[in-house]
Structure 1
Amino acid sequence: MKYNFDTMDDFDFEGKTVLLRVDVNSPVDPLSGELLDDTRMVLHSTTISELSERGAKVVILAHQSRPGKSDFTTLKQHAHAISNIIGKEVQYVDSIFSSAALNVISNMVNGEIVLLENLRFFSEEMPKLSAEEQANSIMVQRLYPLADYFVNDAFATAHRSQTSIIGFSQVLPSIAGRVMELELNSLFGILDNAQEPRVYVLGGIKADDSINVMANALKSNQADYVLTTGLVANIFLVAKGYNLQEYNLNFIKDRGYENFIDVAKELLEQYDDKILLPVDLAILEDDSRVEYPSDKIPNLPIYDIGSKTIEMYKEKILAAKTLFANGPAGVFEKEGFNLGTEDLLNAIAESNGFSIIGGGHLAAAASTMDLDDDITHISSGGGASINLIAGEELPAVKALIESAKRNNY
């Protein structure tokens, strides 16, 4: 399967101004406000350093969290962290397209690197706009005349149609950065070799992404089994008629996922034989792990899948020829509730099939367990990788392909 998009090998960047979109969204300590992890910055450092070394004027575009969240903050710390990682100063600019920001960009010298402010401070970044509206946004119209190329390295947000991802691709030659290139080549390669049985392990707390992917994978006959964990499993248990009690039902509602219960009901009606639900769950009771059958849950928080479910899921995982996993099985950071996540990850590592793990917490857990070499591909983007594998068109990838066609490179 051949996908034609431009890479950094196709261009000479000497003296050129490059708008570089990365995804350095990082966990933030809620008390101190300090960054807790630099994994994504390390990941993108290869692209940043290469562009700088090849004489480009590198203007980094990035976001941190989203409005309303406690970790929605400036990118000042990110600039400092990237500077330390690449061993070269990254100048932080506390605006996106103000006159001051445009002046800094206009006066850059070859090899210089600047990081503009959090893109999501701009109101037109996140709303669902058409490609034309994105291209005509204030941000794109103010910045693109100063640039020669747009390099998209933000694979983790490739499934989002947002202004900084799509808008610049309409008006500038658009190129895949090294992270984007590696992800697409790896995932398309595995996709071309997917063998049955194909097993999806979908969990975590971002239930909307996982359920949408599940629906697409099942409808396109790309999944033989879907093993549900985390909040995804809870939603499906409720849809199946299980009483998870007020605490856990409120948790689903508070996260804004109540409407997905009906979606889960429809999927269960059509694909009940392919969707596996936990038969037991681990509850936080008196600050300890206590397991209960799924039909006898007390009014206490669910923190993990239970031991019987783990064994049932491991059997499916070890028999799989192609595995896709996204999201942890529970609150694995809390002592006693890491069992589901770690046992399933170990089973995935033991499997002889192709295995892909989405980004975020599950990828971090796999790395902490030193399983990187035992898993075929650990992606930097959970939602993006799983959506691509499930057969959905990624807006960022579509934009790269269309740019290559449009510019005839």
Structure 2
Amino acid sequence: MPPFRTLDDLPAASRVLVRLDLNSPIEDGAPQDNRRFDRHAGTVRELAEGGHRVVCLAHQGRPGRDDFTSLAGHAEILSNHIDRDVGFVADTYGDEAVDAIESLEAGEVLLLENTRMCEDELPEAEPAEKADTEFVRTLAPYFDAYVNDAYSAAHRKHASLVGFPLVLPAYAGRVMETEYEANTAIARTEFDGPVTMVVGGTKATDVIGVMDALEGDVDRFLLGGVAGELFLRAAGHPVGHDLEGMDLFDDQWEKNHELVEDLLAERGEEIHLATDLAYEDADGDRAEQLVDDVVEKTDAYLDVGSGTVEAYDPLIRESEAVFVKGALGVFEDERFSIGTVGVLEAIAETDCFSVVGGGDTSRAIEMYGLSEGEFSHVSIAGGAYIRALTGEPLPAVELLEAAADD
């Protein structure tokens, strides 16, 4: 049983305020369809088909950034996913929004304007302070319930995430429910066999923190990406530093080298490092080099080598559970997709509990013809996934848990 109320507990015929996370890439001023719309559509469709009046809140970008735009285009994409009209008003809690909310009929869906266009939404503050904002105090009286489906934003203390659960009966949507169950499984579940974590990506600081926090929960770590090179550097290899024009390694090394060295010294048997690395040669082709043969780093390493993939494969296939955080290479370039795709294929072919976390890595599943159904869960969360793995609190989830006790 989840530690919060879900849609199964929602009273019939409610007017519901639903927080989604539809934050998307913006190209030529237009939002791009992605799995977030598809996932949240399940919650919205269920509410609409159940006869509720559904009003959605979401954000896009941040003030001052190029992707900070209206949600008008998001409403159209969401409409296509739920196969019914999604109304939109370019207002969040003013008269136009209130009028649209009051005129809503059972089964109808409305999307309000970008929450981050409200001064009360940002910056982060304590829930009680956010609950007392004009934004929350104005909207709340028009609703019977609040549903938070935005697990991927649950680590934020923004008004639309932490204010409404203090003034309305609060419930978890289906995305919130499934993300919570999958992303906390590593700490809550006793697995009968080895638990493996694949660690990669460019944000080494985050994943190194995860490795430190998961002592006792993970039996072995398979490394690639920036974190993998930093561990190789700590092991005495001349890699894991920036070349001219780079800004990936040196700053993260300064912040984390003591922890990296400690992890290698104390848990080295659990940590598996790349034995070869791939780079682009002078002809533009993929080339590979054994780590033991590197005398000086002269090229950017863009993937783990095929020998590393072969070494990681059996470790994955004998695992009872596999968690993925970060890609092992620049998989967007097919030449350097061998590490990431090889690992994902091994997981897909193995009868294990598997969670692939983070938007970047999960994109590789689509790009290379794998099916999400071959994995136990493909997370759409980034920062919240990291927090869940490290055991840090997620404010929006804590408020749902507290609401269940009321």
Both proteins in one fold, TM over 0.5: yes
| CA distance in 1: counterparts of 2:132 and 2:16, whole angstroms | 19
State the 1:145 CA deviation: 2.5
| CA distance in 2: counterparts of 1:172 and 1:235, whole angstroms | 47
| CA distance in 1: counterparts of 2:254 and 2:90, whole angstroms | 38
Q: Which range moves more in the overlay, 310-319 or 286-295?
A: 286-295
State the 1:283 CA deviation: 1.8
| CA distance in 2: counterparts of 1:104 and 1:238, whole angstroms | 59
| CA distance in 1: counterparts of 2:281 and 2:121, whole angstroms | 42
- Residue 106 in 1 paired to residue 91 in 2? no
Q: Which of the residues 229, 242, 264 maps onto 1:234?
A: 229
Q: Which residue does the alignment assign to 1:377?
A: 377
Q: Which of the residues 194, 197, 202 maps onto 1:197?
A: 194
Superposed, 1:68-79 pairs within 5 Å as 69-79=65-75
Structure 1 gaps of 5+ residues are none
Q: Which range moves more in the overlay, 194-203 or 238-247?
A: 238-247
Q: Is the 8 A contact 1:216 1:392 kept in 2?
A: no
1:401 partner amino acid: E
Deviations 1:185-207 (A, max 9, x none): 45566742423421111222344
Q: Which range moves more in the overlay, 243-252 or 283-292?
A: 243-252
Q: Which residue does the alignment assign to 1:143?
A: 139
Q: Is the 8 A contact 1:38 1:81 kept in 2?
A: no
Return closer, same or farther for 1:78/1:197 CA change in 2, 3 Å cut-off: same
* Percent of residue pairs bearing the same amino acid type: 37
Q: Which range moves more in the overlay, 72-81 or 252-261?
A: 252-261
| CA distance in 1: counterparts of 2:246 and 2:159, whole angstroms | 34
State the 1:10 CA deviation: 1.4
How many residues are matched? 400
1:129 partner amino acid: A
Q: Which residue does the alignment assign to 1:225?
A: 220
Q: Which residue does the alignment assign to 2:356?
A: 357
State the 1:255 CA deviation: 9.0
State the 1:102 CA deviation: 3.2
1:324 partner amino acid: F
Superposed, 1:335-350 pairs within 5 Å as 335-350=334-349
| CA distance in 1: counterparts of 2:37 and 2:309, whole angstroms | 34
- Residue 120 in 1 paired to residue 127 in 2? no
1:175 partner amino acid: Y
State the 1:267 CA deviation: 3.6
Secondary structure, aligned partner of 1:282 = strand
Secondary structure, aligned partner of 2:287 = strand
| CA distance in 1: counterparts of 2:250 and 2:96, whole angstroms | 41
State the 1:334 CA deviation: 0.9
Structure 2 gaps of 5+ residues are none
| CA distance in 2: counterparts of 1:123 and 1:292, whole angstroms | 53
Superposed, 1:2-401 pairs within 5 Å as 2-14=1-13, 16-29=14-27, 32-67=28-63, 69-122=65-118, 125=121, 127-186=123-182, 191-218=188-215, 221-240=216-235, 242-247=238-243, 250-252=246-248, 259-286=255-282, 287-294=284-291, 295-296=294-295, 298-367=297-366, 368-385=368-385, 387-401=387-401
Secondary structure, aligned partner of 2:248 = helix
Return closer, same or farther for 1:194/1:25 CA change in 2, 3 Å cut-off: farther
Secondary structure, aligned partner of 1:292 = strand
State the 1:350 CA deviation: 2.6
| CA distance in 2: counterparts of 1:123 and 1:300, whole angstroms | 46
| CA distance in 2: counterparts of 1:26 and 1:311, whole angstroms | 35
State the 1:232 CA deviation: 2.7
| CA distance in 1: counterparts of 2:384 and 2:90, whole angstroms | 29
Deviations 1:44-99 (A, max 9, x none): 11211222223322221112234555433322211111112222221222233334
Q: Is the 8 A contact 1:248 1:299 kept in 2?
A: no
| CA distance in 2: counterparts of 1:239 and 1:333, whole angstroms | 28
Q: Is the 8 A contact 2:16 2:52 kept in 1?
A: yes
Return closer, same or farther for 1:390/1:347 CA change in 2, 3 Å cut-off: farther
Q: Is the 8 A contact 1:322 1:354 kept in 2?
A: yes
1:311 partner amino acid: E
Deviations 1:341-384 (A, max 9, x none): 11011111233332222241322322443343332232333543
State the 1:18 CA deviation: 1.4
Q: Is the 8 A contact 1:13 1:51 kept in 2?
A: no
| CA distance in 2: counterparts of 1:192 and 1:157, whole angstroms | 24
Return closer, same or farther for 1:366/1:107 CA change in 2, 3 Å cut-off: same
Q: Is the 8 A contact 2:144 2:168 kept in 1?
A: yes
Q: Is the 8 A contact 2:182 2:355 kept in 1?
A: no
Deviations 1:111-138 (A, max 9, x none): 3322122233445545442222232234
TM-align CA RMSD: 2.9
Q: Which range moves more in the overlay, 377-386 or 327-336?
A: 377-386
TM-score by length of 1: 0.86
State the 1:336 CA deviation: 0.5
State the 1:269 CA deviation: 4.5
Return closer, same or farther for 1:110/1:160 CA change in 2, 3 Å cut-off: same
Secondary structure, aligned partner of 1:167 = helix
